Chain A
Amino acid sequence: MSCTTYKIEHTTTYSYESPVRICHNIVMLYPRSSNVVQPSYYRITVKPHPETLVRREDYFGNQLHSFSLNESHKQLVVSASGRVKVSYAALVEPTATEAWEMVREAVDAKTDRNWFDACQYRFPSPRIDIDARYASFARRSFLKNRPIVEAALDLTQRIFREFKYDAEATEVYTPTAAAFEMRHGVCQDFAHVQIACLRSIGLSARYVSGYLRTVPPPGKEKLIGADQSHAWVSLYCGQTVGWVDLDPTNNRSCDTDHIPIAWGRDYNDVIPVRGVFLGGGEHSIQVSVDVQELPQAVNAD
């Protein structure tokens, strides 16, 4: 079990050309506690100050905050900051895992201990359809009786190799099918594509949003705010192994560099900041994410 503690600062600034009279928002920036992540001293702040900032848990167990602003404003700043302790169990030996068909069957037959939880991530969702084209793409990795984690890592690698990371090619509402056709996109698209492939062959996969610690090039100092929101995939691998996180954007299984914040069926379930506003004219968004590793001494407490 490896373990790292980070200090995170994530600030989103909306600037409007003309005043916004009203806005209603929901933010999903507060890390959900799990055996992987333990948040502490975490705070969500909004400027201008809303009268109420309601925190609750959503259907999937994520933490969300909602607020409305009734006073006229030309700038809205939402920030989330605090510490998280991330600990990942070492990845199981991929070749020693169950055959993927066995996992699928146990969930379908409802004999798997976690079948019900897994079921929720097994069907089409608003952003991810299932389709024969995804299935045939997946089958090239999911060969008959192949151990599930091995097959999944292979699929992760193929998406990494066959798809080009390209922030210009897609935007936040690009359909998964379009990204799949283009073989271009960003982390969100890669995660959607991989989930579509996995669900299309009957496996349960969910979408994870969070942060990735970036390591500066050798000799360069790390730039503050240069980190980014990130997204990856979590695949259900049967009751012995459980959920395994895979990062198709970086061709790896997830470790303590990955800090999950929320998960759901697809991006729509875990949008970091969503909302609608009235007025405002043109608006621009500035996002700054900073993920700093804290020294081991802090890890100790």
Chain B
Amino acid sequence: MNEPIFKEEAQPNAPPVSFADLLEQYRPGFDHYDEAVDSAGHVRSSWSRLFQRLSGMSLPEFERRILQAQKQLELDGVAFNPHDSTRGVSRPWRLDPIPLVLDAQEWQKIERGMDQRAQLADLVLLDLLGPQTLLRERVLPPEILFADPRYLPACHAAVPHPKKHLHLYAADLARSFDGQWWITAERTRSPFGLGYLLENRLVTSRMLPEAFQHCNAVRLASFFITLRQTLKGLAKRYRENPRIAIWSKGPGSRAYFEDSFLARYLGYTLVEGEDLAVRDQRVMLKTLGGLLPVEVLLRRVEDQECDPVELLGGDRQGIAGLMEVVRSGDVTVSNSIGSALAEAPLLLAFLPSVCQHFFGQDLIVPSVATWWCGQEAELQYVLEHMDELLIRNAFRSDDEPPYRPSEMTQAEKQKLVARIREQPHRFVGQERMVRSTTPVYEDGRLQTWSLALRAYAVAKNNSYQILPGALARVSPDPEVLSHNMTSGEKSQDVWIVSDQSVPHVSLLENSVQETELKRAGAELPSRVADNLFWLGRNLERSEQIARLVRLVLQELTGEAAASAGTHGLLKACRRAKLLDKPEKLDDEYLLAQEITRGALDRKVAHSLRGVVMVSHATAAKVRDRLAIDCFRVITELRDLLGSVNSDARIAPTDFMTVLDEAITLTNAISGFASESMTRTLGWRFLDLGRRIERAYQTSQLLLSLLPMEDEKFELNNSLENCLQVCDSFMTYRGRYLANIQLAAVLDLLITDETNPRSIAFQLQAITQHVDRLPRPDTQASISPEQRIALSLSNSVRLADVVELGVKVREGDWSNLQKLLRRLVEQLPKLSDAISGKFLIHAGLQRHFARS
């Protein structure tokens, strides 16, 4: 018998070749509700279109698209900083290729439920921070306000106009066995996740474009258009075009990716606390053009961190004196400061009665069963049923994972019981949710993972508009999903599908246009200008180092062997601190290794790796100001150098390939800067940094490479090296062929204003830039930075290279040396003058000591 014996049995496990095979093997258990397949094993009707489209796809094609999508996520820099600190390592955002599909009709019920919830949460806040009738009439226990550690009496009675505290609201949802949705938690301070949700949609719709079209998934743009209108409606002044800013906690915070993403998507300025100040009862944005009033702040900052004067927190992130301005209505903070109160899990226990109180209705979407231990009967229940429950802090639901008594040792459990008994009001017991499952593509199979959804609502007139989609988190372990937003293994896009085709609303383009029309210039916060300036300097420095190292490695390892000009290159390496030994040419390969190691040194900031890392970190701080592609290339550059393992001693010849690529990437970045950035002040500071650095590096290089200090190395070789490192060799060849002449080289590198690599070219650009920087109208004479730039530019322009050449031939380098030394000395002063005038920071605000 030649037939395989196990044919029949083997078939279910046969390696899948198409998506249809995957689907064939998808077998959800019967103890959960499965989103895609019903209990009879049939694909639910809302999913059939998706599966129809996917079934035709071969697995290699599917895999290829997943890889592409993952690459896009990495390059977009989508990552999670799990802790609000820089030391926490950020983990990459994992997006599953399979979207979660929900039927539009079913979604309508969630929409009504979300609208009701958001309205309730807003009414509760208006009352708690206002008349407190809910407490006086005993609908809610006083603990809900007075015992909440986040309660800030200073926020009392600061009601914005229109009278609403919540403009954005989110709720976490889970589905039980019978198909019923439950709300497990509410988010009322600054709901997290919208940026990730958008990114999921952009990536998934690009990964599966046919399916996305075919399924009629509802577009998200309408939600963001409403968000923009709502925020605009909060402005007291300039209602036509108010200045709205996203107030972020900065690059170290876990939401920074999302903050910068939303800032760009919505067309708002991304600011941090130090960009803002209160002057004359207004919140002002500190920009290069002076102070500009801000009307609305979409905040990420914690309640108590908003104002260091009144709320005593947030020395770094907060805005001193903000509360007074909020009270006067001259700025609106969204959501209102103090709105975190409505997130307390203990509120869930009372929501049914609050809903009756306000609306005379039941909750449309119920909450997961919650027992507050501050009541005698509930306390007893929780203590008796501990093993079936989760125990949570009654006031916070986010940064603290719940206790699971069933998994605790007897001793741990006793300790917990003692804590609950001591201060029962600080705890709630919550039913452990049985969650629904949904298909997830993992390890080459479709697996049944548990699902958690986060849905979003935005205020619109007297009700809320619900985002037609959600952020899905999935995990093989349902318990993990109860932690908080950052828990879960993967995320999925959520498609609300209907039978009718959906009107096409373009995502990014249409919704963003309106603002930023006339204010592109002076709007620039000083902090951003500072970062752009240093980004320019560091990128240029990366390129210069890469060119220098490439050339020196070529010389040391190449067949020509070390020429007489190599001495100069080694000297330049030493000056750039890439080499700490005196340059001896005994063992060229060893030297090459030494320089390679120096360039890759992780521990110092001036190595090539160090400078590239700093460039990337600086770029990350201003990523909302850079073209997306530009930031991608900077990330590629970082990854390129980050991937080289310096400890394993990479061969210098291999490193040269890396350098080739690095130089290509730095050129690509310059290309973006010159071709993709509008000529705003931001671009000016980036370019200014780059020009100053290039002029400085070139001057340094000439000082090192030319045999000035009666060194014996050969002139022609040195000149050639200068041309190489300054990327002007081809230009020179084109002009003068192989004839290397000192005067001609000096002209090309120093005085030729048509060569974009020459010092004169840089100084001309610098002079133009500093002339166009904002300055007071009253200023009569020229500024210090103008004076330095002009004087340097003039002395370079007036330099007579032929005369210099003649002198050098006579062995007198002093005039050239003097000119270059002056540049090396004055350029840092120019940089300082610019920093001091435009980029200086206000410094840290401090509290009065004991009074």
Q: Mark B507-520, 1 if CB is under 8 A from A, else 0.
A: 00000000000000
CA distance A265 to B848 in the complex (A): 21
The reply on A97 being an interface residue by CB < 8 A is no
Q: Is A280 within 8 A of B309, CB to CB?
A: no
Q: Is A280 within 8 A of B310, CB to CB?
A: no
The reply on A290 being an interface residue by CB < 8 A is no
The reply on B277 being an interface residue by CB < 8 A is yes
Stretch at the interface among A18-26, A147-155, A219-227, A243-251: A18-26
One of A26, A54, A68, A265 near B310 (C-beta < 8 A) = A26
Most buried by A among B278, B847, B851: B851
Most buried by A among B132, B135, B423: B423
The minimal Cβ–Cβ distance linking B110 to chain A, given in whole angstroms, is 36
Q: Which residues of A contact B136 (CB under 8 A)?
A: 116
- The contact size tier of chain B is 35 or more
Q: Which residues of A contact B29 (CB under 8 A)?
A: none
Residue of chain B at shortest CB distance from A25:
B309
One of A24, A122, A275 near B278 (C-beta < 8 A) = A24
Q: Assess A119 versus B146: contact at CB under 8 Å? Given A274-B848, A277-B848.
A: yes
Q: Is A271 within 8 A of B279, CB to CB?
A: no
Q: Is B310 within 8 A of A285, CB to CB?
A: no
CA distance A280 to B848 in the complex (A): 11
The minimal Cβ–Cβ distance linking B314 to chain A, given in whole angstroms, is 10
CA distance A287 to B848 in the complex (A): 13
Dominant secondary structure of chain A at its interface with chain B: mixed
Q: Mark B269-287, 1 if CB is under 8 A from A, else 0.
A: 0000000011111000000
One of B157, B320, B843, B851 near A287 (C-beta < 8 A) = B851
Residue of chain B at shortest CB distance from A271:
B851
Interface residues of A in 72-127 (CB under 8 A from B): 110, 116, 119-120, 122-124, 126
Q: Is A278 within 8 A of B843, CB to CB?
A: yes
CA distance A22 to B291 in the complex (A): 14
Most buried by B among A119, A130, A283, A287: A119
The reply on A66 being an interface residue by CB < 8 A is yes
Q: Is A272 within 8 A of B851, CB to CB?
A: yes
The reply on A172 being an interface residue by CB < 8 A is yes
The reply on B41 being an interface residue by CB < 8 A is no
Q: Which residues of B contact A280 (CB under 8 A)?
A: 846
The reply on A269 being an interface residue by CB < 8 A is yes
Q: Which residues of A contact B798 (CB under 8 A)?
A: none
CA distance A256 to B423 in the complex (A): 38
Dominant secondary structure of chain B at its interface with chain A: loop
One of A58, A59, A275 near B847 (C-beta < 8 A) = A275
Q: Is B423 within 8 A of A70, CB to CB?
A: no
CA distance A51 to B58 in the complex (A): 74
Residue of chain A at shortest CB distance from B132:
A116
The reply on A299 being an interface residue by CB < 8 A is no
Q: Mark B814-851, 1 if CB is under 8 A from A, else 0.
A: 00000000000000000000000000001101111111
One of A24, A120, A268 near B320 (C-beta < 8 A) = A24
Q: Is B154 within 8 A of A66, CB to CB?
A: no
The reply on B580 being an interface residue by CB < 8 A is no
The reply on A300 being an interface residue by CB < 8 A is no
One of B280, B425, B845 near A276 (C-beta < 8 A) = B845
Q: Assess A276 versus B422: contact at CB under 8 Å? Given A119-B146, A124-B149.
A: no
Q: Which residues of B contact A276 (CB under 8 A)?
A: 308-309, 315, 320, 845-848
CA distance A272 to B312 in the complex (A): 14
CA distance A71 to B170 in the complex (A): 44
One of B135, B146, B309 near A274 (C-beta < 8 A) = B309
Q: Which residues of B contact A116 (CB under 8 A)?
A: 132, 135-136, 142
Q: Is A274 within 8 A of B847, CB to CB?
A: yes
Q: Is B147 within 8 A of A124, CB to CB?
A: yes
Q: Assess A122 versus B146: contact at CB under 8 Å? Given A130-B423, A268-B312, A274-B309.
A: yes
Q: Which residues of A contact B850 (CB under 8 A)?
A: 171-172, 285
The reply on B156 being an interface residue by CB < 8 A is yes
Q: Is A14 within 8 A of B843, CB to CB?
A: no
CA distance A132 to B321 in the complex (A): 38
The minimal Cβ–Cβ distance linking A10 to chain B, given in whole angstroms, is 10
The minimal Cβ–Cβ distance linking B579 to chain A, given in whole angstroms, is 42
CA distance A116 to B145 in the complex (A): 12
Q: Which residues of A contact B851 (CB under 8 A)?
A: 12, 271-274, 285, 287
Q: Is B143 within 8 A of A123, CB to CB?
A: yes
One of B149, B279, B422 near A70 (C-beta < 8 A) = B279
Q: Which residues of A contact B310 (CB under 8 A)?
A: 26
CA distance A233 to B579 in the complex (A): 69
Residue of chain B at shortest CB distance from A54:
B324
Residue of chain A at shortest CB distance from B307:
A24
Q: Assess A59 versus B309: contact at CB under 8 Å? Given A123-B147, A276-B847, A287-B851.
A: no
CA distance A60 to B147 in the complex (A): 16
Q: Assess A14 versus B142: contact at CB under 8 Å? Given A70-B279, A124-B149, A276-B309.
A: no
Q: Mark A35-70, 1 if CB is under 8 A from B, else 0.
A: 000000000000000011010001110000010101
Residue of chain B at shortest CB distance from A70:
B279
Most buried by B among A12, A120, A123, A265: A123
One of A24, A120, A268 near B321 (C-beta < 8 A) = A24
Q: Assess A58 versus B153: contact at CB under 8 Å? Given A119-B146, A122-B146.
A: yes
Residue of chain B at shortest CB distance from A60:
B153
Q: Which residues of A contact B87 (CB under 8 A)?
A: none
One of B143, B422, B846 near A277 (C-beta < 8 A) = B846
Q: Which residues of B contact A132 (CB under 8 A)?
A: 422
Residue of chain A at shortest CB distance from B328:
A54
The reply on B42 being an interface residue by CB < 8 A is no
CA distance A283 to B849 in the complex (A): 9
CA distance A83 to B846 in the complex (A): 33
The reply on B7 being an interface residue by CB < 8 A is no
Most buried by A among B132, B308, B312, B320: B320
Q: Which residues of A contact B154 (CB under 8 A)?
A: 58-59
The reply on A279 being an interface residue by CB < 8 A is yes
The minimal Cβ–Cβ distance linking A135 to chain B, given in whole angstroms, is 9
The minimal Cβ–Cβ distance linking A271 to chain B, given in whole angstroms, is 7
The minimal Cβ–Cβ distance linking A131 to chain B, given in whole angstroms, is 9
Most buried by A among B142, B422, B423: B142
The minimal Cβ–Cβ distance linking A115 to chain B, given in whole angstroms, is 8
Q: Which residues of B contact A287 (CB under 8 A)?
A: 851
Q: Assess A269 versus B153: contact at CB under 8 Å? Given A171-B850, A275-B847.
A: yes
Q: Is A278 within 8 A of B845, CB to CB?
A: yes
Interface residues of B in 314-330 (CB under 8 A from A): 315, 320-321, 324
The reply on B138 being an interface residue by CB < 8 A is yes
The minimal Cβ–Cβ distance linking B568 to chain A, given in whole angstroms, is 48
CA distance A122 to B135 in the complex (A): 15
The minimal Cβ–Cβ distance linking B537 to chain A, given in whole angstroms, is 27
Interface residues of A in 242-301 (CB under 8 A from B): 264-265, 268-269, 271-280, 283, 285, 287
Interface residues of A in 1-26 (CB under 8 A from B): 12, 14, 22, 24-26
Q: Is B153 within 8 A of A123, CB to CB?
A: no
CA distance A54 to B309 in the complex (A): 15
Residue of chain B at shortest CB distance from A118:
B142
The minimal Cβ–Cβ distance linking A65 to chain B, given in whole angstroms, is 11
Q: Is B156 within 8 A of A59, CB to CB?
A: yes
Residue of chain A at shortest CB distance from B844:
A278
Q: Assess A120 versus B278: contact at CB under 8 Å? Given A12-B851, A172-B850, A274-B851.
A: no
Q: Is B308 within 8 A of A66, CB to CB?
A: no
Q: Mark B396-438, 1 if CB is under 8 A from A, else 0.
A: 0000000000000000000000000011010000000000000
CA distance A171 to B843 in the complex (A): 25
Most buried by A among B310, B321, B425: B321
CB pairs A–B below 8 angstroms (6 shown): A25-B309, A25-B848, A58-B153, A70-B280, A172-B849, A272-B851
Closest 4 CB pairs of A and B: A59-B153, A123-B147, A24-B321, A273-B851
- Inter-chain pairs besides A264-B153, A287-B851, 13 sampled, C-beta below 8 Å: A24-B278, A26-B309, A58-B153, A70-B280, A119-B135, A119-B142, A122-B146, A269-B153, A273-B851, A276-B308, A278-B845, A285-B849, A285-B850
